[in-house]
Amino acid sequence: MRIKPRQREFGFINWGGKRRGAGRKPKGVRAGVSHAKRPQLCARHPALVTLKLREDLPSLRCDQAHEILARAFVASSERESFRVVEYSVQTNHLHLIVEASSERTLSSAMNGLASRIARALNKLWRRSGKVFADRYHARGLETPREVRNALAYVLSNARKHGAWLAPRPDPYSSGPGFDGWKENEVAVSIPRRLPRPRTWLLSRGWQRHGLIDPRASPALERRSTRRVSKAVALAG
């Protein structure tokens, strides 16, 4: 008796849908910034922004590179909707505290700033190609304590990395022109190049929790530590 052939069904196991290990892989040793949609930014909240360089590039903590960065920060702050208020330059990353009218404005301004910096640094280093390892990481600062913690972290970040131990503010930051230090002798030691803050949180609100000790190593405190530390985790 002749048997009629039957078509067999394919068995698909663990195909399709969400699965562990799928998606874009990290660049380099450490994972990059998430490409999920960024949280909305309110105009009255400043933001803590981190930009990390690609590996094997020269240090940013030299006079020539610092001057390029400072000029870029000033030039990018000419518009009404975006301004870099404070910054810190480390060997392979930057920390900025910025004000922006919206998350779209922040994205556009940061992309322009990163491109401006990359072109100038490539010219200085006589190279071509990408300068930053990934897109920027940003975190909105919503309370006076969060803003104060972020200011202390950014302005004294070199102490955290052991790159600056002197009792005065780090010269590769906006610290020498910052007027929120505890001691009068370190206040505004050089003319300020960056624009003044316009949000209440960044201009006056943070001072509810006290001025900042210029000699202290930054330590993000208590509950607000967990929120702000997400923005600085990439830099270590």
Q: Rounded CA gap, 172 and 88, in Å?
A: 6
**pLDDT tens figures, 73-132:** 999 999 889 999 999 999 999 999 999 999 999 999 999 999 999 999 999 999 999 999
- 121 vs 218: CA distance, rounded Å: 28
Burial (CB count within 10 angstroms: exposed 0-12, middle 13-18, buried 19+), residue 172: buried
Q: Which range, of 24-28, 146-150, 151-155, 220-224, averages the lowest pLDDT?
A: 220-224
- Residue 196 makes CB contacts below 8 A (sequence gap 6+) with 85, 203
Q: Which residues have a Cβ under 8 Å from the Cβ of 94 and sit 6 or more positions away? A: 49, 50, 51, 52, 60, 69, 87, 88
Lowest model confidence (mean pLDDT) among 87-91, 216-220, 225-229: 225-229
Is the entire prediction scored with pTM above 0.85? no
Residues 54-64 have a mean pLDDT of 96
Domain ranges of the chain: 47-235
Q: What is the CATH number of domain 47-235?
A: 3.30.70.1290
Tokens of 24: 């874009």
Render pLDDT for 126-165 as a digit per residue (tens, 0 to 9): 999 999 998 899 999 999 999 999 999 999 999 999 999 9
- Res 198: pLDDT: 96
